[in-house]
Structure 1
């Protein structure tokens, strides 16, 4: 075990540290963190409508739904201004963080990335609405207004065409990968030109804000035109927008790969490996977890909002699934370790650390346990530390795939206690809450033998000291 640890420290740890501190990956991670307020406020709106509209509707409480109609409408507006346009918010956050990492004007970086993303989106729309139960009078009225419409059977088909549209399908979760790619390219063009001094230089007497704005003009023009040219060429010669191509050939395949059980197990395992060597696993893997599993969460949220049902959500596993089922009490489910220590441990040092870590462990903060026991670089605890989260993630994944518990579709703060987080993330599924608590029990069962074994190790150490 010592040889393995030494080998990992020598070969794995330096690579992991470089990945965790790589400038562009850190900027992507911080960009996702930056949009958290928007993600959360949209999720709160969806969650409130679950309890004010969807569940009461299932229970037949129509009068309650009618009473809450104003709040339901406000929640819908909040969702429209948050989750529905999350790609627009993210691309600004990405441009801001990339520019900030290079110490150039971050506000201009965010604006340029935002504009570059917009110029790649389709600007025309062609919608066909079929309205049942209409008369010829409706058709005549619409024709007078210049609307193309015709009656087909019992339906009135309305053809709405025009220019200047931004479809929600591009502004929401489906546009996240495009926002990431276009935002990154345009931001790097802006940054490199700024660093090379290809800017408009004004006298020092000009106010700083004006100077910064003028300095960003030439890099901004070039970055936006590059994005616009790419968008034009894609539509003209390939017949698809950049977003459609990225969605079809990059985003969907990556999301598909992320939904396999092996991918979920591997991700949870790598989180534990990084933590074992003192690196914050979720932070190191944030570009993957947020870049792949967060779009899955937002897509589930959009699907739920459209259908008002969790029955046919597209993705089994999302970003919040990790927190709900494999990180209760923190990475390694150390809340179960704390419980095992309280019940079985005879070591004063372990009990003292457990008492200090318990209040924070209830809210999934476990640094006192990870570094206090310690678990970091401690071969004694490496087996439960590495195997527990993959086991609990597998249990939750299989339950979700079997339809016993619904997929997660609400972004819930990771500090929510065990059971409550899963309950809220699934829109009020008490079975999901029980699954999370069951996973805590499984973790307790696995941690307990090692806590009991630690008592014997402590006893042997005392006997050795007495002999000495």
Structure 2
């Protein structure tokens, strides 16, 4: 069985390695990592506004009406999550331009300008058309797909135009290099922005849909439908944790695909939550963090507790003690590589199956209305149970479910820990 695991690793390893080092996917992944603090900050203010300050259901409503103070949180929300796609456009453009050795700062700004050029600049309010405005629909997480593709295409065009010597503006040697660099971007920037503006104009006038509507219909909606369906998210989790079993960070590798959809889903949920509307999505990033990644990938908090309960191996128990504190914050590398779980054909089975079983249970509970849907983006390092409570806007039932899933995961891991101990004794 060990040889079989090694053969699978030989097959998947190169594929996963190429996937995780592909320059465009790396730029997307790094861009998301860069904006994640803003996502969390915005989510904290959503939590404060709706869990504490709300005059109807807030925890502080017995002390008075605090609705006017929600304006503070709304300002912070619009300054972070309200412009998330703009921030991401800069992050992706900045990271990708570094790969191509372009002027990172200037290229990042051009990427942002290109994405903005695709946005409709008018909207109807009470039957009247207002010009010179941008809708939050396009600047928030809902516009992430256009931001990603737009910034990548803008940088690729800049890369191609950089090779054309005729487009470079020759500056005297006395001009500082930074100034010369900026002027070398001038003509390429004109070409790129003209191209994006023409595309936006053509889509609206020839097709009758703006670029965001086209991308939503063709790409975003189908992908989101897959992720919001139980079979789709089970498949994603299965593959993520299978990669973990071979020593590859599954969530990290697949993040360029999963992050845009999951962040869009939580953005839609937060928007609906603030407006007092029905919450649309079950599967979001905090949903998976709370109910599928307790202790880290593979729901390894269950493995850790199972080791303390049934393992007779002193080395396992010692590694368990060293891994206890990191596991409480969903950091499981000491456990995964210390035991190791990696390439362990016995422990790999629950590593893959436990998160899948737990997400099915959590999905069914949420779908049945037994727990609330997630409406707050909490940091992934938030300890289990607490994260479920916060992510659902303070639902104690979600916290109890999270606790129940931990108990279940311990029960599921225990037979495999015992079997693994026996294997060592027999050898």
Same fold (TM over 0.5): yes
- For 1:112 and 1:60, locate their aligned partners in 2 and report how far apart those are by CA, in whole Å: 45
Structure 2 equivalent of residue 300 of structure 1: 269
1:279-325 CA-to-partner distances (Å, cap 9, x unmatched) read: 11111000111022111111111121222x6xx21111011221111
* 1:247-274 Cα deviation digits (max 9, x unpaired): 2232122211211101111111111111
Normalising by the residue count of structure 2, what TM-score does the alignment of the two structures yield?
Answer: 0.95
- In the alignment, structure 1 residue 369 sits paired with structure 2 residue 340: no
Residue 126 of structure 1 aligns with which residue? 124
Q: Which residue of structure 1 lines up, in the alignment, with residue 131 of structure 2? A: 163
8 Å CA contact 2:2, 2:343 repeated in 1: no
Q: What does the per-residue CA deviation read over 1:91-120, in whole Å, with 9 as the maximum and x for residues that have no partner?
A: 121211111222211111211111111111
Is 1:354 matched up with 2:320? yes
- Stretches of structure 1 that go unaligned for 5 or more consecutive residues are 129-158, 462-468
**Structure 1 residue matching 2:301: 3-state secondary structure:** helix
Secondary structure at the counterpart of residue 383 of structure 2 = coil
- Do the aligned partners of residues 204 and 273 (structure 1) sit closer, same or farther apart at CA in structure 2, a change above 3 Å counting? farther
Q: Which residue number in structure 1 is paired with residue 101 of structure 2?
A: 103
Contact 1:341 1:451 (8 Å CA) reproduced? yes
* CA shift in 2, pair 1:276/1:10, >3 Å: same
Q: 1:74 aligns with which of 68, 72, 75?
A: 72
- Cα distance in structure 2, aligned partners of 1:180 and 1:305: 26
Residue-pair matches, total: 426
Match of 1:151 in 2: none
Aligned to 1:23: 23
1:429 and 2:416 matched = no
Are the equivalent residues in 2 in contact too, given 1:98–1:109 (CA < 8 A)? no
Q: Secondary structure at the match of 2:346?
A: helix
Question: What SS does the corresponding residue of 1:161 show, helix, strand or coil?
Answer: strand
Aligned to 1:404: 370
2:417 partner SS: helix
SS of residue paired to 1:57: coil
Provide the C-alpha distance between the structure 2 equivalents of 1:162 and 1:293, rounded to a whole number of angstroms: 32
Structure 1 pair 4/454, CA: closer, same or farther in 2 (3 Å)? Answer: closer
Please tell me whether the aligned partners of residues 265 and 281 of structure 2 are also in contact (alpha carbons under 8 angstroms): yes
RMSD: 1.8
CA 59–100 in structure 1, closer or farther in 2 if over 3 Å, else same = closer
Aligned to 1:378: 344
Aligned to 1:188: 156
Contact 2:319 2:334 in 1 (8 A): yes
Q: State the structure with more CA Rg.
A: 1
* 1:375-411 C-alpha deviation (Å, 9 max, x unpaired): 1111121211111111111111111111111221211
Partner of 1:133: none
| TM-score, L = length of structure 1 | 0.87
Instruction: After TM superposition, give the deviation of residue 196 of structure 1 in Å.
Output: 4.9
Question: Aligned to 1:285, what secondary structure does the other structure show?
Answer: helix
| Cα distance in structure 1, aligned partners of 2:3 and 2:60 | 65
**Aligned-partner SS, 1:380:** coil
Partner of 1:235: 204
Q: Is the 8 A contact 1:83 1:172 kept in 2?
A: yes
Partners of 2:25 and 2:58 lie apart in 1 by 46
> d(CA) in 2 for partners of 1:62 and 1:268?
40
- Note if contact 1:193-1:199 (Cα within 8 Å) is conserved in structure 2: no
Does the 8 A contact of 2:94 with 2:104 survive in 1?
yes
Rounded Cα–Cα distance in structure 2 between residues aligned with 1:79 and 1:450: 45
Secondary structure at the aligned position of 1:235 is classed as helix
1:34 matched to 2:34: yes
Distance apart, 1:75 and its partner CA = 0.4
Q: Secondary structure at the match of 2:130?
A: strand
